[in-house]
Structure 1
Amino acid sequence: MIEFRFVVGDLARMSFAYSPLQEAVYSLRCWCDPARYPHQRPWLRRLAPVFQRQDTELLTALIAPRLWIPDFLTPRPERPRPVFARQLETLRATPPHVLEPEFTAAYGTGFDGLPQVLRDGLAGPDRLLDRICRALDGYWRDCLAPDWWPRAHTVLEADLAHRGKVLAEEGARGLFASLDPRLAWDGDVLTMTKKLDRNPWPAADIDIGGRGLVLIPTMFALGAHTNIDYALPPLLSYPARGRATISETPPPATDEALTRLLGAPRARILHLLRDPTSTTELAHLLNVTPGAVSQHLSVLYDAGLLTRTRSGRSVRYALSELGERLCG
């Protein structure tokens, strides 16, 4: 059982944040134990070829067998909506001497129980830290940032909005109950109890003591949890509401839906621009004036649905990548 003890003013200083770096690190749990996160399996299948080109030996070693993670890899966010690059700078500034004790704490073993890649790396912890940062940066850039993070970001933003509404309508007791049934609030102490588990938490009293408790939704948790080192600035990660929707596939765009969205003239222009076409050619095909076509093209171009290139005295328009995806 872990108890977070609040004093006067601590509840007012409590805040919410999400963490792209934490999500990147936590997502490595999926590669170690995919059965635990069934809603992520479609993404795992899609990303597997790209992931295999990463520094997988090191990345998977960051996750201990019981899925615990060294605290230095997931520093408490300094603002509600941090960006990955800034958080990576914070990670790079980690004092190298903390790596060995935090890895052994996560693994629950001595130095000899660590994977070989970590034992070798800890001979030069500054170089190991640099390798970790480069590996996480490549993993984020190649695997998560293009498609996965935009979907996850939407879920996390929606969670923050929902929790704020619960706090306003039901108070702290209702808020904590909504995060995890293992949390109990009595007005001064937030108790977190973990029962019937192979890896129970060590009992602890954590004094918030004016440091503020940061609540962090995540796509990769089955229940609320906190740092391994209870002396660190207090945080509480909890399962994001709606995280199972991450793998929902949106319905394909249909001609009817596209027409309702854009209007018939612009929807037809998009279909005609599957092949690069000039304004004059479009006007002829649509039997309208070039001026009317130009107005529609300007709107579609500004929306990022078209590209344009000059060919002599004429400008030829074509679908952008976004336009192609919209048209299916």
Structure 2
Amino acid sequence: MGRKVTFSLGGDDISAIRFGISPGHEMSHAVRALLDPGAHPLQWGWLRAVQPRLSREAVGTLALVIGVDGYFPDFLTCSPSWEMTPEEEVERLRTVSLEQVRFDLTKVLARSSGRRHERVAAMLAAPAEARERIAEAWSAVWEVALAPYWEQSRRLMTADIALRTQQLAARGLGEVVATLADGVHWRGDAIEVDMRFHSEVVDCAGSGVVLVPSVMSRRCSVLTEKHVQATLFYPVRGVSESWTEPRAPRREALARLLGAGRAEVLLSLDAPRSTSEVAAACGLGAPTASHHLAVLRDARLVDSSRDGGRVLHARTPLGDTLAG
């Protein structure tokens, strides 16, 4: 039998399933794409754009602890949430407990050999210095490699979450789990994830599981340490090699599809807005904005709901995907 991680859920835990986003996870898999471009063809456009501008020293520091495959330190990722920003992630990294740093680097050491083993051992001997060095490298690589593309990345991930949340309400958790990725299965009251390196049964009674889409990773991975909520990372749908292209060409393409006015209205709805707010953001008269919103609503790209004395418009999951 193949290796697998099983997230065991009770009947009361189904409602504890939630979604999150993890800047730290994206960074770790971005480093792996840099180390092994051939295994990440969907990142070739991104790689061409960022590789010439990256600090080799910073990438080398992260590569040392992350590696090309397999385990990387859990302290590089916090428990994913909607609220965690990249800036908060790196500040959390600077203050992660030295006990956690030692624990995770010991696991990296056990999985390394040769020159890497020696360098990880040196880090383990001075964990405070290692923590600061890793945080500095994280910040330097983030600014060049992911910060310019975080808006696009987050849009892809939030669109995926919106679609799966809708699927969860309409068809249930089993349908959501079964469509996350190859190798992920729903078995009655458990999520099973095919793994290459280890097997484990994780009791999620009372806590549930966090599902986290990823633009950078090419396969599923898990977080099962007891100090964090059980987490399943999965590749986001809708990623192509051109996902990092500047917004302007996408805006032009959307304008050719919908018309310039409706494209602007759709793109303006990065947060719920009233008709007057949409009109102001797009430089349109209120009747014109209202007409465009009605057409987009009929096409199920926009949803409208009343909030007290005003009507707010927001992109649907389909609208989010199209705008992204």
Q: Is TM more than 0.5 here?
A: yes
Letter in 2 for 1:213: V
Aligned counterpart, 1:290 = none
Aligned-partner Cα distance in 2 for 1:47–1:110: 28
Contact 2:222 2:231 in 1 (8 A): yes
Q: CA deviation at 1:248?
A: 5.3
Aligned-partner Cα distance in 1 for 2:21–2:9: 22
Q: CA deviation at 1:53?
A: 5.6
Amino-acid identity (%): 25
Contact 1:104 1:111 in 2 (8 A): no
Residues 90-129 of structure 1: pairs in structure 2 closer than 5 A: 90-106=92-108, 108-109=110-111, 114-129=116-131
Which residue among 90, 103, 120 is the counterpart of 1:88? 90
Letter in 2 for 1:182: G
1:31-70 CA deviation, whole Å, 9 max, x = no partner? 1111111111111111112113651220221222424311
Aligned-partner Cα distance in 2 for 1:137–1:13: 33
Give TM-score, length-normalised by structure 2: 0.70
Aligned counterpart, 1:192 = 193
Contact 2:55 2:140 in 1 (8 A): no
Aligned counterpart, 2:298 = none
Contact 1:3 1:206 in 2 (8 A): yes
Residues 74-223 of structure 1: pairs in structure 2 closer than 5 A: 74-77=77-80, 79-106=81-108, 108-109=110-111, 114-146=116-148, 148-194=149-195, 200-223=196-219
5+ unaligned residues in a row in structure 2: which ranges? 262-279, 285-324
Aligned-partner Cα distance in 1 for 2:24–2:6: 26
Aligned-partner Cα distance in 1 for 2:107–2:224: 8
Which residue among 9, 12, 16 is the counterpart of 1:13? 16
Aligned-partner Cα distance in 2 for 1:218–1:210: 25
1:99-123 CA deviation, whole Å, 9 max, x = no partner? 2432342464368773544333322
The RMSD of aligned alpha carbons is 3.0
Contact 1:54 1:139 in 2 (8 A): no
Contact 1:68 1:107 in 2 (8 A): no
Aligned-partner Cα distance in 2 for 1:116–1:51: 25
Structure 2 CA distance for partners of 1:231 and 1:191, relative to 1, 3 Å: farther
Aligned with 2:125: secondary structure?
Answer: coil
Contact 1:218 1:240 in 2 (8 A): yes
5+ unaligned residues in a row in structure 1: which ranges? 195-199, 263-295, 301-328
1:208-260 CA deviation, whole Å, 9 max, x = no partner? 02123110001132332202646642000001111225245736859x97xx6
Structure 2 CA distance for partners of 1:46 and 1:173, relative to 1, 3 Å: same
Structure 2 CA distance for partners of 1:25 and 1:66, relative to 1, 3 Å: closer
1:117-144 CA deviation, whole Å, 9 max, x = no partner? 4333322111110111111112112332
| Total equivalences in the alignment | 257
